[in-house]
Structure 1
Amino acid sequence: MVQIGYGMLAEQAGPRQLVDHAMHAEDVGFDFSTISDHAAPRLPAQGHAPYTWSVLGAVAQATSEIPLMTFATCPTMRYHPAVVAQKAATLQILSEGRFRFGLGPGANVDEHITGDWPPVDVRLEMLGEAVEIIRELFRGECVSRRGGHFTVDSARLWDLPDQPPPIGVAVSDDRSCELAGQLAELMVAARPERSLVESFERAGGSGKPRIGQLAVCYDTDREAAVRRAYEQFGWFGLGGQVEAELASPDSFEAATRYVRPEDVAEAIPCGNDPEAVVDAVRRFADAGFTEVALVQIGGGAQHDFLAWAEEKLLPDVHALGGGGAVAA
């Protein structure tokens, strides 16, 4: 059975609203939750970018059972790996072991605020080094090192959970899959590509969870759903490499000027037909993913979506099989 999560998109709602949404998602019966960790929205129409770690701390106290996860934190520029390790360890304690630590190489729009944006091969080197530092700190070690990208001087985590949070690494190509397979307990991806799962498993990820993310736009009026998806997710489908390089919400807006509403509607299930979402989740399951987080587009539409999901959607998507090991 594929596990179904609820994705908190921090670019489309304020911090108090996000906590409220997470509480409702737990009540509805989602299997887990994720949250984005960005410094800026992708389009100005989204309108928000609260500090994810403050939101997560509040969610950890406002909920009691639903697992939490970053999807995904970049531990290399905006956050030093030693600092982000402290955040994750603290959250694992606050949530009583419900946290999974999704990491990724980041995007220019978020990370450039603290320095120049490096090329992708350097970003992956930085991510690998960051994961090594985080793991040493999670083991309770006093860490001092001067690596290729980071300096750590006598760092130690004084509050450690009984079990460190599992680390996930976001993947988009063979290089990132190799890194995830070697260093992570789980794989994170935004697209249902079987080749990613195969590459991850060849690199050491066999039997480990593979977590996808699916944008949806629920509304009883399908045309209204398409308009909302176009206004807030018009950048969707540009491709991971393009998205990673854009430097500001205005850049995203300029890059999507030739995207049409119907283009977005082809990529994102819009309206209130549960079968459209089931079909989209099935593509992840068929590709070998074990979990899928649903991100509802529109900060003001979350409770309607959650009520619909409880009544119409979750029983069907929970019935899907798939997510098993994929033969290389």
Structure 2
Amino acid sequence: MRIGYTMMTEQAGPRELVDHVVGAERAGFDFSVISDHYFPWLDSQGHAPYAWSVLGAAAQATTRIPLMTYVTCPTFRYHPTVVAQKAATTQLLSGGRFRLGLGSGENLNEHVIGAGWPAAHVRLDMLEEAVEIIRALLAGHTVNHHGAHYDVENARLWDLPDDPPPIGIAASGPRSCEIAGRHADLLVAVEPERDLVTAFADRGGSGKPCVGQLAVCHDPDRETALRRAHDQFRWSLGGWKVNSELPGPAGFAQATRTVRPEDVAEAVPCGDDVEAFVEAAKAYAEAGFTELALVQIGGEHQESFLDWSRRSLLPALREL
């Protein structure tokens, strides 16, 4: 299983994020991903820079480590024609190291354009239509499209990479797995659910990469790590049906007011016990994931995590 590093835009500024991915490359991580947010989940995280500017800077600051959006929503804040242009440019800047991860989005980030937040099945229909437009543009076609959700007039990308970036699609249930199986080069998921991997394979994704994500909180003192994880990452226990619907950090703070530190400890490995981190990662390997991106909780705690990963965590995870 390949091990990746997450540039978490919700917890660090743009310059810091670039420094972090440079450190991840030096530490020996196999790939990197970046979140694409307009808001943090909670006020305590404190950041939300523009992911695509960070990607451009990261592409120039690194030489080896692959880059990937985890994930971009191509249906509200961004029109699919613009996503295709951004993806092509990032692939060129990175010298072919970019993968485009796409998903149906969260109200948290997409409400800002004032277009409302439709039901999940509508959002998935929009995603599928957007992916078809993006693929056509990345293939070099001139696109005229008048669909159920999008109009495209005489669009063409003038700067195209020799190899278009692979497209990943985030899945959390049967319908999204169906879309991923039909349209994606790789699966994206945030839970170690074998059913997702199996459904993706059954619908056309057999043999394709499956990329998961695991939040961790490294600190020499486990109680310090646990307090930080509870403060900044308790939102993650809400589940996708909740997390995709709430419109802002205040809503997540209210929804998680009864979440206890011990609840977070069951989902997030905390401290510096390598075996605990490996055990959490093993769940993804056993579910059939081929790649796993780690999220170190706490923007100001990345350097120590990267150093510890180089010395202790990555060698242990390689054995998976």
Aligned equivalents of 2:163 and 2:232: distance in 1?
Answer: 38
Aligned equivalents of 1:318 and 1:119: distance in 2?
Answer: 41
Aligned equivalents of 1:94 and 1:236: distance in 2?
Answer: 33
Q: Residues 288-303 of structure 1 correspond to what in structure 2 (within 5 A)?
A: 288-303=288-303
| Deviation per residue, 1:119-169 (Å, 9 max, x gap) | 100000000000000011011111111100001011110000000000000
* Aligned residue number for residue 178 of structure 2: 178
Counterpart residue identity of residue 95, structure 1: S
Counterpart residue identity of residue 11, structure 2: Q
The answer to whether structure 1 residue 15 and structure 2 residue 43 are counterparts is: no
Identity of aligned residues (%): 62
The answer to whether structure 1 residue 160 and structure 2 residue 160 are counterparts is: yes
* Aligned residue number for residue 324 of structure 1: none
Counterpart residue identity of residue 171, structure 2: V
Aligned equivalents of 1:228 and 1:80: distance in 2?
Answer: 36
| Deviation per residue, 1:278-305 (Å, 9 max, x gap) | 0111100000000000000000000000
| Deviation per residue, 1:178-213 (Å, 9 max, x gap) | 100000000000000000001100100000000000
* Aligned residue number for residue 140 of structure 1: 140
| Deviation per residue, 1:294-322 (Å, 9 max, x gap) | 000000000000000000100110111xx
What secondary structure does 1:134 align onto? helix
Aligned equivalents of 2:63 and 2:168: distance in 1?
Answer: 22
Instruction: Report the Cα offset of residue 107 of structure 1.
Output: 0.2
* Aligned residue number for residue 81 of structure 2: 82
Counterpart residue identity of residue 309, structure 1: S
Q: Residues 41-60 of structure 1 correspond to what in structure 2 (within 5 A)?
A: 41-60=40-59
What secondary structure does 1:157 align onto? coil
Instruction: Report the Cα offset of residue 37 of structure 1.
Output: 0.4
What secondary structure does 1:280 align onto? helix
* Aligned residue number for residue 103 of structure 2: 104
Counterpart residue identity of residue 45, structure 2: Q
* Aligned residue number for residue 253 of structure 2: 253
The answer to whether structure 1 residue 205 and structure 2 residue 212 are counterparts is: no
Instruction: Report the Cα offset of residue 234 of structure 1.
Output: 1.4
Aligned equivalents of 1:36 and 1:24: distance in 2?
Answer: 18
* Aligned residue number for residue 127 of structure 1: 127
* Aligned residue number for residue 279 of structure 1: 279
Aligned equivalents of 2:299 and 2:210: distance in 1?
Answer: 27
What secondary structure does 1:237 align onto? helix
What secondary structure does 1:100 align onto? strand
* Aligned residue number for residue 316 of structure 2: 316
Work out the number of aligned pairs and report it: 319
Aligned equivalents of 1:105 and 1:251: distance in 2?
Answer: 20
The answer to whether structure 1 residue 71 and structure 2 residue 73 are counterparts is: no
Instruction: Report the Cα offset of residue 236 of structure 1.
Output: 1.6
Counterpart residue identity of residue 12, structure 2: A
Aligned equivalents of 2:313 and 2:97: distance in 1?
Answer: 24
What secondary structure does 2:36 align onto? coil
The answer to whether structure 1 residue 226 and structure 2 residue 226 are counterparts is: yes
Counterpart residue identity of residue 57, structure 1: G
TM-score by length of 2: 0.99
Aligned equivalents of 1:18 and 1:239: distance in 2?
Answer: 26
Aligned equivalents of 1:117 and 1:240: distance in 2?
Answer: 15
Counterpart residue identity of residue 265, structure 1: A
Instruction: Report the Cα offset of residue 250 of structure 1.
Output: 0.4
| Deviation per residue, 1:73-109 (Å, 9 max, x gap) | 0000000000010000000000000000000000000
Aligned equivalents of 1:254 and 1:49: distance in 2?
Answer: 20
Aligned equivalents of 2:7 and 2:42: distance in 1?
Answer: 17
Counterpart residue identity of residue 30, structure 2: D
Counterpart residue identity of residue 91, structure 2: Q
Counterpart residue identity of residue 20, structure 1: D
Instruction: Report the Cα offset of residue 27 of structure 1.
Output: 0.3
Counterpart residue identity of residue 148, structure 2: G
* Aligned residue number for residue 191 of structure 1: 191
Counterpart residue identity of residue 189, structure 1: A
Counterpart residue identity of residue 157, structure 2: L
* Aligned residue number for residue 267 of structure 1: 267
Aligned equivalents of 1:25 and 1:153: distance in 2?
Answer: 41
Aligned equivalents of 1:86 and 1:164: distance in 2?
Answer: 11
Counterpart residue identity of residue 258, structure 2: Y
Aligned equivalents of 1:70 and 1:241: distance in 2?
Answer: 21
Counterpart residue identity of residue 79, structure 1: Y
Structure 1 stretches of 4+ moved >6 Å: none
| Deviation per residue, 1:49-68 (Å, 9 max, x gap) | 00000000000000000000
The RMSD of aligned alpha carbons is: 0.5
